Amino acid sequence: MLRLSFILTLVLAPSAFAQAPDTGDVDEPPPAAGEKGAKPVTKPKAPDPEQPGALADKIREAAGGEPAAGGDSGLPDWAPAPDAIQPVDDRGQPLDEREWAATRDLSVGHPFIESHGYMRMRMDMFHNFDLDTYSLSRSLGTSPVLPPLTEIDQQGSNHPEQKSHRYRRGADTLAGANIRFRFDPTLHVNESLRIRTTMDILDNLVLGSTPDGSPRAGFSRPDVSIETFSGSQRPPESGVSGYQDSVRVKRVWGEWRNPLGLTLFGRMGSHWGLGLLANSGNCLDCDFGDNVDRLMHVTKLFDTYLALAWDFPAEGFVGQSGLHTNANQPFGQAHDFDQRDDVNQWVVAIFDRPMSKAEQAIRVEELNGKRKPVFDWGVYNVIRTQPFSSEVKTSVPPSTASDVYLVDAKAFAYIPDLWLSWEYRPRARNSYKLQFEAVGVFGVIEEVPHPAILGDPKVVCVGGTSTDLETCEASGGDLVKQRRRDIQQWGYALEFNARNDQLEWGFQHGAASGDKSPGFGVLDKFPIDPDAEQPDTEVTGFKFDRDYVIDLILFREIIGAVTNAFYVKPWLAYNFIDQDGPDGLQEEKWGFKLAAIYAQALEAKATPGREAPLGLEFDLELYIDQKDTFRWSLAYGLLFPLGAFDRLNDDFSAVEKEPNVAQTLQMGVGLQF
């Protein structure tokens, strides 16, 4: 089985008005496996980690056995395929199976396909995630997670003797299992061109969610009138047996290595730094992943990498040419109907970290041979603008240009991001790594394009004795642009990881700005909601990317992301089985990890209970981890919610209900290639 690494790319998250640049190896790579000048693909033996120069020499010799460039930062590489996909003889004829084992080092002709991906299965049990604060009279609680249906379905089943026998059965638990197969193939066209894609098959499919016989399943079997007698599962089809299709193509992009560097174009994934602002979602337990439509070029100047990108975050209304109807050339090339409703974005990134295989070999020598500390850094600037926004007149998707109208937006955002990394390995099986990322989002929306306030005057007089705009300030009032929203957001995170032989320990800390408007703005409401009783006049709440996960319950499931909070997380792990690879990194480990997380809101008035303390959570995990091949884990989480999740009365003067403990038990297994 081929051992291949995940290939990540660098993008900024659209939800935070940013797309980070993706970059790659711009140096001349070694020849592809099997081509002239290449060495046979072998697994390198682990050298003596204390011998200077030994590790770098071994890694340079193992042309096909090195890890992919970029590592955890998601930066792309131009490493050749580590082994042959289709072996051929000296005349270019395919070899039969009998000759395969003895001829793995023979030449491979272009084009060929390199395969990556994983298959995972997760089983989750959620207990009391509604925190026992749900109110039937208000149809809401302090947690966005609803209780089981048996606790909120007041209609009953009209049973002749007990009409509400389905209601209030004392249920507190939600449970299920889901699967995903991610496939990341790379088509090597020639030595300088390749096409890459990412597709998910049965993407987060809940097992048992598409029975072939069900009253609510479209085109279900007529001979199965109740799910009790369903005999099979149907493939998910959007609008038929589910809300999404069985196969979802998420990314397709091309790469051209040229004398000036590396050029990338298409729809690609994104990751930068720790993943606060842009997160590729390529981890085995991730759910989302950031994608961006982009044209980008990366080059190296004075030992520093420079990336320039032009992004297409949103184009507004797109349709067919001519009469702008779907009936006119329905299978032809669609066009953008106006340039001024486009969201335009430009990225300039500068960073210094090992990218090419030669640079990575030097880095391994510095860490494991010379035992020197190393430092990496990166910073980028993003500018995003949108003059107008295209809105739809009807509740159904527009079919002609007359169904769309333009409104002012005048939106602008500037996003700087700083990433720092320090690593030191004083001796074998001992390492220390510190990473830091800080993000800011600053901008303005001059005209909020929301139908609820389109008819409102742009400027009003507030607090004065006169409502006339000319005499407003003289009468003690203030001129307020009620359709304007200022954007001032910030967030940062710090991670420290240490290893002392079989013992691992560390510390995480981070914070994200909030605002004074009620709610967290992730799972419970929209950040900009003019219909709310207290709409956000200043958009100050920053949200970490949803795939930046620090816990099992509080931020991942209850709030939805780290926002309006600061947190501290010390953790400790011990590996009963612990084996290293030639690069000094762990190849296989069996052990456990214990973590404690305390979180508190920065803006207490925005929480449901008008209190700052969010909660205290303890997470315990047992795991078996074989690098890039196999992972199994069993995790238990226990959350003690605090005053921020109290349920208050209508005038917020007293506590009606205090939250109760939430728990989760989760098991996952993943196969990687």
What's the confidence (pLDDT) of residue 401?
65
Assign 357 a pLDDT band (cuts: 50, 70, 90): confident
Kindly tell me the burial class for residue 390, based on how many C-beta atoms sit within 10 Å of its own C-beta (0-12, 13-18, 19 or more). buried
Q: Which amino acid is residue 495, in one-letter code?
A: E
What's the confidence (pLDDT) of residue 77?
54
Query: Are 335 and 319 contacting, i.e. CB atoms less than 8 angstroms apart?
Result: yes
- Say whether pLDDT at 506 is over 90: yes
Assign 230 a pLDDT band (cuts: 50, 70, 90): confident
What's the confidence (pLDDT) of residue 561?
95
What's the confidence (pLDDT) of residue 89?
46
Assign 71 a pLDDT band (cuts: 50, 70, 90): very low
What's the confidence (pLDDT) of residue 23?
41
Of residues 603 and 407, more confidence is placed in 603
The angle, 0 to 180 degrees and rounded to 10, between the axes of the packed helices 357-364 and 54-61 is 150
DSSP H helical ranges for 241-397: 357-364
- Say whether pLDDT at 48 is over 60: no
Assign 475 a pLDDT band (cuts: 50, 70, 90): low
Cα distance between residue 593 and residue 632, in whole Å: 13
Cβ-Cβ contacts under 8 Å for 361 (sequence gap 6 or more): 56, 59, 60, 66
Assign 457 a pLDDT band (cuts: 50, 70, 90): low
What's the confidence (pLDDT) of residue 92?
45
Lowest mean pLDDT among 236-245, 563-572, 640-649: 236-245
What's the confidence (pLDDT) of residue 321?
65
- Bridge-partner residues for 486, per DSSP? 444, 538
What's the confidence (pLDDT) of residue 534?
53
Q: What is the mean pLDDT of the chain?
A: 80
Q: What is the pLDDT of residues 171-208, one digit of tens each?
A: 889 999 999 999 999 999 999 999 999 999 999 999 98
Using a pLDDT cut of 70, give the percent of the chain over it.
70
Joined tokens for residue 501: 């032989």
Cβ-Cβ contacts under 8 Å for 594 (sequence gap 6 or more): 571, 572, 573, 618, 619, 620, 621
- Nearest Cα residue to 115 out of 185, 43, 21, 13: 185
- Say whether pLDDT at 467 is over 50: yes
- Say whether pLDDT at 101 is over 80: no
What's the confidence (pLDDT) of residue 237?
79
User: Distances from the Cα of 562 to the Cαs of 32, 127, 228, in angstroms?
Assistant: 43, 21, 41
Kindly state the average pLDDT of the residues 610-628.
Answer: 97
Cα distance between residue 219 and residue 350, in whole Å: 54
- Say whether pLDDT at 75 is over 60: no
- Say whether pLDDT at 432 is over 60: yes
Q: What is the CA radius of gyration of the chain?
A: 28
User: Distances from the Cα of 437 to the Cαs of 105, 277, 285, 291, 608, in angstroms?
Assistant: 43, 9, 22, 20, 29
What's the confidence (pLDDT) of residue 671?
98
Q: Which amino acid is residue 368, in one-letter code?
A: N
Kindly state the average pLDDT of the residues 248-267.
Answer: 96
Lowest mean pLDDT among 278-282, 519-523, 629-633: 519-523
Highest mean pLDDT among 314-328, 387-401, 427-441: 427-441
Assign 20 a pLDDT band (cuts: 50, 70, 90): very low
Of residues 466 and 490, more confidence is placed in 490
**Residue 14 preceded by cis peptide, ω within 30:** no
What's the confidence (pLDDT) of residue 60?
43
Total-model pTM:
0.80
Lowest mean pLDDT among 173-187, 461-475, 479-493, 583-597: 461-475
Q: What is the pLDDT of residues 143-179, one digit of tens each?
A: 999 888 877 766 655 555 555 555 566 788 999 999 9
Backbone conformation region of residue 322, classed left if phi is above 0, alpha if psi is from -120 to 50, else beta: left
What's the confidence (pLDDT) of residue 322?
62
Cα distance between residue 174 and residue 187, in whole Å: 42
- Say whether pLDDT at 19 is over 70: no
What's the confidence (pLDDT) of residue 225?
72
What's the confidence (pLDDT) of residue 663?
98
- Say whether pLDDT at 262 is over 80: yes
- Say whether pLDDT at 16 is over 60: no
Query: Which DSSP helix (H) or strand (E) runs through 325?
Result: none
Cβ-Cβ contacts under 8 Å for 161 (sequence gap 6 or more): none
- Say whether pLDDT at 87 is over 50: no
What's the confidence (pLDDT) of residue 39?
41
User: 3-state DSSP call for residue 381?
Assistant: strand
What's the confidence (pLDDT) of residue 198?
97
What's the confidence (pLDDT) of residue 484?
78
Assign 249 a pLDDT band (cuts: 50, 70, 90): very high
Lowest mean pLDDT among 147-156, 409-418, 537-546, 628-637: 147-156
Query: Are 26 and 257 contacting, i.e. CB atoms less than 8 angstroms apart?
Result: yes
Q: What is the DSSP letter of 100?
A: H
- Say whether pLDDT at 540 is over 50: yes
